[in-house]
Structure 1
Amino acid sequence: LKDNIRLACQVKVKADIGIEIPEDLFNVKQFKATVKSIKDVTYDIKEVLFDLGGETVDFEAGKYIQLVIPPYNKIKGSTQRAYSMSSRPSSHNQIEVLVRLVPGGIATSYVHEHLKEGDKMDLVGPFGDFRRTKSDSIMLCVAGGSGMAPFKSMLYDMLETGETNREVWYFFGARTTKDMFYMDQMKALEKKLPNFHFVPALSEPQEGDGWDGPTGLITDVLDRYLKEEINSGNKVLEGYLCGSPGMIGACNKVMNDNGVTQNNVYYDKFA
């Protein structure tokens, strides 16, 4: 009160209470990281690799990290923004993220316009509960743009941990070929993971692109494959979604309409 600050939201405790702290939070750390590399994977998405020096990070594929953006230009205070990790969990001394430029975005503008290789940056994490289940259920993964991050991490983790027989369908939507990336990596994974199927699709293919893959909204492509291509047999179908709230909602409906129960749909929703 002497600092003219008070907690506005309060609850009076009238009986004994128990407080349960999720075990994952005990793994959260603040890292003093160094930018090892910055690569343009598309015209508006950068792959940023951080080196943690002598520190290590333990996380499950699908988790996210908070980037601490320092003050710059008219931004007076530090800001934290969450980004799914695209790195492999086995790379304990490195963290990789994909950052798509959002006009006017505090963090994305800093990363795209100011961050350089060799710069120092604070990272906080890992956080989140987006992860694959430990089962033999068929995974239906859907993403677009920087939503690639958690699925890249999951797929390489599956390869490295020997989870090579699980059936995975990964639907990746983009407008044109210039929005596509990691195509060679995904095709290489298809050869190493016998039951992995990568389905990239363009909603606005351009003349001269030479695109001969699926076209249309990724929800329409997903719907067609669920009706015509994917034979689940007696296996459970699980949905894994990463993208905007609109995309999540639309994909959720398609999956529900095709027999994927709501309790088997998991998502990482962009704010």
Structure 2
Amino acid sequence: MTFNITLRPSGRQFQVETNESVLAAALRQGIGLPYGCKNGACGSCKGAVLSGAIEQAAHSASALSNDEKLQGMALFCCATPTSDLELKVREVAGATDMPARKLPCRIHALERVADDVMVMRLQLPAHQKLQYFAGQYIEFILKDGKRRSYSIATPPHHDGPLELHIRHMPGGVFTDHVFSAMKERDMLRFEGPLGTFFLREESTRPIVLLASGTGFAPLKAIVEHMIFKQIERPISLYWGARRGKDLYMAELAQQWAQALPHFSFVPVLSEPAPEDNWQGRTGFVHQVVVADLPDLSAYEVYACGAPVMVEAALRDFTGQHNLPPENFYADAFTSEVDLANSLT
């Protein structure tokens, strides 16, 4: 059995097969719905069910609250129709222009840049080039079929290996292997590009880039893409971490700030160590943003990193500091542990 889906306000239509999620069907048919994690953890694919009925699978309570469910909201990555549907959702122009592919790759280099951060560089097969938007991610396909997602830190014009920034999650099957046994020339397989977190080049608004931890990776790709394309919109990069050593590429960001008159970099530490001799900003990184920019009505925000940071930024920026919700773009880095601990 198939069900017909109508999107508002565009009026576009597509069909969903039995036991297929709304998002999976849309992507299969070239419909650009917003999404991030695809597993009910980040909330990027949230929209309203105007008419019809769905079954909502297990998901993070922070991605979709009970109050939002009562208001007719749903997460389309884990919502299966039980009737024809009419949905209100913000479609993403260009999201299907870079179709995902499955590709083999070889570990070109592994560079440990912090105690718990590895820069991994991937070499694609000869004559193969991955086309993607700055900010998108790939998913490694593990031998048991499970997947692990990592943002691409290199810009799309880059001809060398793809760069990923991988944080060690102790007890995590994949990252334990990366930090203990993986070596150069090992083979992996991935699918990509994925996600709708990428630079909206048609806009002229000033930009706030907001990162925690390895959320710096896709923002690095965005900045380097803008430099290459000579896009000179004002950019303010706020990068938050616990201690100084966690800002593992701070020198690169400082170089951008020195070279680009329209670029500023604000590093923020929440728990600076004595050896940091820290004279900079402290606290929660999203709160430092609003201390500097109390009125965000004219801005676009690209936020990436820990789910708690992304959620707090969305809540405060749109609820108290005038940021239009449609100008908030996010990629929350949800781990398997995060999802397991928060499913409802």
Q: Same fold (TM over 0.5)?
A: yes
Given that 1:47 and 1:98 are in contact with CA atoms closer than 8 Å, whether structure 2 keeps it comes out as yes
After superposition, what is the alpha-carbon deviation per residue over 1:7-49, rounded to whole angstroms, capped at 9, x for unaligned?
xxxx4559xx744324727632222211111111111010000
After superposition, what is the alpha-carbon deviation per residue over 1:138-190, rounded to whole angstroms, capped at 9, x for unaligned?
11111111111110000011111111x21111111111112111111111111
CA distance 1:206–1:13, shift in 2 (3 Å): closer
What is the aligned-residue identity percentage?
27
CA distance 1:155–1:26, shift in 2 (3 Å): closer
For the residue of structure 1 that corresponds to 2:254, the secondary structure is helix
Whole-angstrom distance in 2 between the partners of 1:67 and 1:225: 38
Whole-angstrom distance in 2 between the partners of 1:83 and 1:224: 31
After superposition, what is the alpha-carbon deviation per residue over 1:109-135, rounded to whole angstroms, capped at 9, x for unaligned?
222222111111112111111112121
2:134 to 61, 78, 84: 61
- 1:37 equivalent to 2:46? Answer no
1:48 to 99, 117, 120: 120
1:264 to 327, 333, 340: 327
- 1:105 equivalent to 2:172? Answer yes
Q: After TM superposition, list the pairs within 5 Å mapping 1:186-205 onto structure 2.
A: 186-205=253-272
Unpaired runs of at least 5, structure 2: 5-12, 16-28, 32-94, 335-344
Q: Which amino acid aligns with 1:258?
A: H
CA distance 1:222–1:90, shift in 2 (3 Å): same
The structural deviation recorded for 1:237 is 0.7
1:249 to 297, 304, 311: 311
CA distance 1:12–1:183, shift in 2 (3 Å): closer
- 1:117 equivalent to 2:184? Answer yes
Q: After TM superposition, list the pairs within 5 Å mapping 1:1-271 onto structure 2.
A: 11-12=1-2, 18-19=14-15, 20-22=29-31, 24=96, 27-54=99-126, 55-70=128-143, 77-92=144-159, 94-134=161-201, 135-163=203-231, 165-227=232-294, 236-256=298-318, 257-271=320-334
Q: Which amino acid aligns with 2:129?
A: T
CA distance 1:26–1:150, shift in 2 (3 Å): closer
Q: Which amino acid aligns with 2:118?
A: K
Whole-angstrom distance in 1 between the partners of 2:168 and 2:3: 45
Moved over 4 A (4+): none
Whole-angstrom distance in 1 between the partners of 2:147 and 2:106: 17
The structural deviation recorded for 1:106 is 2.2
Given that 1:88 and 1:154 are in contact with CA atoms closer than 8 Å, whether structure 2 keeps it comes out as yes
Unpaired runs of at least 5, structure 1: 1-10, 71-76
The structural deviation recorded for 1:92 is 4.3
Given that 1:63 and 1:84 are in contact with CA atoms closer than 8 Å, whether structure 2 keeps it comes out as yes
Q: So what's the TM-score if we normalise by structure 2?
A: 0.67
Aligned length: 248
